[in-house]
């Protein structure tokens, strides 16, 4: 079975972001970018399924500017076989919203006919947590979101997928027919690091460049970003010297005890 | 136009988050008028429907009680919501794992965008929501005819319970061949629900082991607090993942948040920095948690916690 993995280029998770002075967006110039951490987990899971003999081919896909090819090369170095870059730089400077991303991915699913699609549960920039669910809806497939364990059971034409999901009260296990869409939670696996020889080999792996127009998808969104602001700052607090002082302050000053 | 709120429930009990979502719906109603209907979908959900009917501001509770909606699987429930969404201008649910699983699927089936985790209603089309782990607040405006929105509970005060709205049943039954519920393992706790607790005490990697989390029990009991954890504590296997507070766990905004042995990574701060009063107990005086803490105590938690618990008795 073929596995499709969607990856996104985002600001590195360690970076302290800055809001632009004109409040139009977050400043992305000269900021360290990386693969979204949840996407790394998705790539790792796909590669592990290939190593177990469940998957035959892993295809990585991204939607974004030309620079996003760096993240595809990372996916290839981690073990993906080939990559597809849907280049949006010609059409728009603006971000591609989840719905447009899901529409593009649905076209790729139609073309590639994967047995399983793995995405991260959310991107750490927009924090939307939408694309996997939207893709499942558009492709007419079942979804296993926030997965902490994924197991393929059965054989031949009757393969099923058991997904353990992280839900508010604990864990839930569902069984899905294949093909299916899975989104990864942090505890699904521990992603590996790419080794130098693999990074070199990844440069020779195939990478197709497409455009949204190739898929007949309109990227424009009905959602407008009006303003981006910094959240209200918390004022610096004080350090207390003892437990007695702490409890005293909480009782008499903050009045929360 | 009217507003449809999806009720959140577990084990036959209406979850507190629903009262917060209705509060957000009331803000919308101030701009657009119309009714606020609550949809209760599940199996044997009579008691949930009655609890939902008591929420102030609710016009009508619609109940879809059928085995296909048990455990609120996304595939059948989104199909039901798509059927019911006509006639509503807004569909709202809590930004819980249920709401996040479901609403993007509904939005895509209706070919509209979805707006996640709003913390403020500006007007009927405009909302504020945190991005980049809460380090920026985005104001977004939707031109879609149907707005599909998840609501961050901590952004809205819960409505009261003096109402007696009408309850009517919904006969729509959809088919689901693609997904099946297998099992559920829920953590048992007598303590208040993490997301709704007035006081939260959380442990991090500094706790050292799962066994040491017991040091928090006595304090939590005395304060009526819920116990949370940082991702580091969860990943180290100290406590189950449903206790995690942060960007990828639960978002809390209690009156008092006590962080014990937690360094204060961006990811964790995203889940608790709207708490009214933050206390940090950490032996590393350089820990970033002290930059957001109202009261910081530098010290060894193994000495501080027993002393703190003892002091609460006085």
Please give the share of chain B, as a percent, with pLDDT higher than 90.
95
pLDDT at residue number A91: 60
Asked if omega into A179 is within 30° of 0 (cis), the reply is yes
Q: Is B245 helix (H, G, I), strand (E, B) or coil?
A: strand
d(CA B148, CA B212): 43
Q: Count Cα neighbours of B180 within 13 Å in the Cβ-side half-sphere.
A: 8
Q: Does the structure show a pLDDT above 70 at B33?
A: yes
Q: Mutate which of A102, A140, A164, A169 to test chain B, going by most B C-beta atoms within 10 A?
A: A169
Which of B11, B68, B114, B300 best tests the A interface by mutation, with the highest count of A CBs <10 A?
Answer: B114
Residues of A whose CB is below 8 A from B285: 239
Spatial distance between the Cα atoms of B2 and B90, rounded to a whole number of angstroms:
7
Query: Does the CB of A255 have a partner CB in chain B at under 8 Å?
Result: no
Nearest CA in chain B to A223: B142
Cβ of A228 and B297 within 8 Å? no
Considering CB atoms only, which of B105, B111, B240 is closest to A136?
Answer: B105
- What are the structure tokens assigned to B214, written together? 């017991």
Say if residue B255's pLDDT is above 70: yes
Nearest to A118 by CA among A87, A88, A152, A89: A152
In chain A, residues 117-176 whose CB comes closer than 8 Å to chain B: 121-122, 124-138, 141-143, 145-146, 148, 162, 165-176
What chain A holds in terms of domains, given with CATH numbers, is 2-252 (3.40.50.620)
Q: Which of B204, B241, B18, B150 is nearest to A169 (CA)?
A: B241
Q: Which residue matches tokens 């979908």?
A: B41
- Any residues with CB less than 8 A from the CB of B116 and at least 6 apart, and which? A127, A128, A129, A130, B95, B100, B129, B149, B150
Residues linked to residue B65 through DSSP beta bridges, in sequence order: B42
Q: What is the CATH number of domain B194-312?
A: 3.40.50.1220
CA-based nearest distance A80→chain B, Å: 26
CATH of B2-169 given 3.40.50.620, 3.30.300.160, 3.30.70.260, 2.60.120.380: 3.40.50.620
> What are B37's strand-pairing partners?
B4, B60
Tell me whether residues B312 and A173 touch, CB distance under 8 A.
Answer: no
User: Parallel, antiparallel, or unpaired: how do β-strands B136-142 and A33-35 relate?
Assistant: unpaired
Chain A closest-CA separation from residue B225 CA (Å): 11
> With contact defined as beta carbons under 8 Å apart, do A114 and A179 qualify?
yes
Closest-CA distance of chain A to residue B56, Å: 25
- Are B2-169 and B194-312 equal in CATH topology? yes
Whole-angstrom CA distances from A102 to A43, A138, B109 are 18, 7, 11
A-chain CB neighbours of B277 within 8 Å are: 250, 254, 256
Burial class (CB in 10 A: 0-12, 13-18, 19+), A40: buried
The strand pairing partners of B10, in sequence order, are B13
Q: Is B202 helix (H, G, I), strand (E, B) or coil?
A: strand
DSSP string covering A134-149: HHHHHHT--EEEEEEE
Where exactly are the structural domains of chain B?
A: 2-169, 194-312
Question: Are B41 and B6 a contacting pair, CB within 8 Å?
Answer: yes
Q: Helices (DSSP H) in A52-97: which residue ranges?
A: 69-78
Tell me the pairing of strands A238-240 and A223-229.
unpaired
Contact A51, A45 (CB under 8 A): no
Q: Which helix (H) or strand (E) holds A248?
A: helix A243-252
Q: List, as ranges, residues 62-101 from A with C-beta within 8 Å of B.
A: 97-99
Distance CA B52, CA B166 (A): 10
On whether the CB atoms of residues B107 and B93 are closer than 8 A, the answer is no
Residue A77 is encoded by which pair of tokens? 């170095």
Full 3-state SS string of A9-43: EEECCCCCCCECCCCCCECCCCCCEEECHHHHHHH
Q: Do B132 and A177 touch (CB under 8 A)?
A: no
CA angle B180, A169, B11 (to 5 degrees): 70
In this structure, the dihedral spanned by the alpha carbons of residues B287, B293, B299 and B301, taken in order and rounded to 10 degrees, is -100
Contact (CB<8Å) B131/A26 = yes
Tell me the pLDDT band of B1, cut-offs 50, 70 and 90.
confident
Q: What is the pLDDT of residue A155?
A: 72
Question: Which pLDDT belongs to residue B187?
Answer: 82
Distances (CA, A) of A81 to A23, A41, A198: 41, 17, 12
Question: What is the predicted pLDDT for the residue at A154?
Answer: 79
pLDDT tens, N- to C-terminus, chain A (257 residues): 999 999 999 999 999 999 999 999 999 889 999 999 999 999 999 999 999 999 999 999 999 999 999 999 999 999 999 999 999 987 655 679 999 999 999 999 999 999 999 999 999 999 999 999 999 999 999 999 999 999 998 776 778 999 999 999 899 999 999 999 999 999 999 999 999 999 999 999 999 999 999 999 999 889 999 999 999 888 779 999 999 999 999 999 998 88
Chain B's closest residue to A25, CA to CA, is B138
| Band of residue B189 on the pLDDT scale cut at 50, 70, 90 | confident
Question: Using a CB-CB distance cutoff of 8 angstroms, which residues of chain A are in contact with residue B267?
Answer: 13
User: From its phi and psi, is residue B153 left (phi > 0), alpha (psi between -120 and 50) or beta?
Assistant: alpha
Average pLDDT value over all residues in chain B: 96
ipTM score of the complex? Answer: 0.95
- pLDDT score, position A12: 96
């Amino acid at each position: 079975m073929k596995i499709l993995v969607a990856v996104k280029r985002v600001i590195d998770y360690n970076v302290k972001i800055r809001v632009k002075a004109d409040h139009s967006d977050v400043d992305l110039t000269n900021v360290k970018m990386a693969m979204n951490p949840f996407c790394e987990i998705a790539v790792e899971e796909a590669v592990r399924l290939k190593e177990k003999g469940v998957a035959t081919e892993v295809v990585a896909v991204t939607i974004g500017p030309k620079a996003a090819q760096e993240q595809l090369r990372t996916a290839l170095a981690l073990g993906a076989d080939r990559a597809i870059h849907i280049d949006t730089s010609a059409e728009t400077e603006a971000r591609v919203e989840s719905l447009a991303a899901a529409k593009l991915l649905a076209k790729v699913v139609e073309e590639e006919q994967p047995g399983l699609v793995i995405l991260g549960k959310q991107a750490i920039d927009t924090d939307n947590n939408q694309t996997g669910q939207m893709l499942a809806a558009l492709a007419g497939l079942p979804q296993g979101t926030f997965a902490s364990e994924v197991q393929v059971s059965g054989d031949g034409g009757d393969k099923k997928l058991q997904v353990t999901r992280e839900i508010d009260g604990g864990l839930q296990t569902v069984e899905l027919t294949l093909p299916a869409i899975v989104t990864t939670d942090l505890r699904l696996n521990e992603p590996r690091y790419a080794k130098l020889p693999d990074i070199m080999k990844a440069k020779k792996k195939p990478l197709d460049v497409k455009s949204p127009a190739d898929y007949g998808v309109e990227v424009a969104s009905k959602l407008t970003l009006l303003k981006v602001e910094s959240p209200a700052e918390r004022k610096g607090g004080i350090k207390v010297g003892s437990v007695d002082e702490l409890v005293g302050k909480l009782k008499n000053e903050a009045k929360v005890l | 136009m009217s507003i449809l709120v999806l009720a959140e429930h577990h084990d036959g009990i209406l979850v507190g988050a629903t009262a917060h979502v209705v509060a957000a719906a009331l803000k919308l109603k101030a701009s657009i008028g119309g009714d606020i209907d609550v949809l209760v979908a599940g199996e044997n959900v009579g008691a949930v429907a009655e609890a939902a009917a008591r929420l102030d501001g609710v016009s009508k509770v619609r109940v879809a009680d059928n085995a296909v909606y048990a455990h609120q699987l996304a595939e059948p429930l989104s199909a039901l919501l798509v059927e019911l969404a006509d006639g509503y201008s807004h569909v709202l649910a809590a930004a819980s794992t249920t709401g996040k699983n479901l609403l993007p699927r509904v939005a895509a089936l209706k070919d509209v965008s979805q707006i996640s985790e709003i913390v403020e209603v500006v007007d009927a089309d405009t909302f504020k929501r945190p991005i980049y782990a809460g380090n920026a607040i985005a104001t977004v405006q939707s031109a879609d005819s149907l707005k599909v929105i998840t609501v961050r509970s901590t952004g809205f005060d819960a409505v009261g319970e003096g109402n007696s709205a009408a309850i009517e049943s919904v006969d729509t039954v959809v088919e689901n061949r693609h997904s099946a519920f297998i099992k559920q393992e829920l953590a048992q706790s007598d303590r208040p629900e993490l997301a709704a607790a007035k006081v939260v005490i959380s442990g991090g990697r500094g706790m050292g082991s799962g066994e040491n989390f017991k040091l928090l029990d006595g304090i939590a009991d005395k304060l009526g607090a819920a116990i949370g954890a940082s991702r580091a504590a969860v990943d180290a296997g100290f406590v189950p993942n449903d206790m995690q507070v942060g960007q990828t766990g639960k978002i809390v905004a209690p009156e008092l948040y006590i962080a014990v042995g937690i360094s204060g990574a961006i990811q964790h701060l995203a889940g608790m920095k709207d708490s009214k009063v933050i206390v940090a107990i950490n032996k590393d005086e350089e820990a970033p948690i002290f930059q957001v803490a109202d009261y910081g105590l530098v010290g060894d938690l193994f000495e501080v916690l027993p002393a703190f618990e003892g002091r609460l008795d006085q």
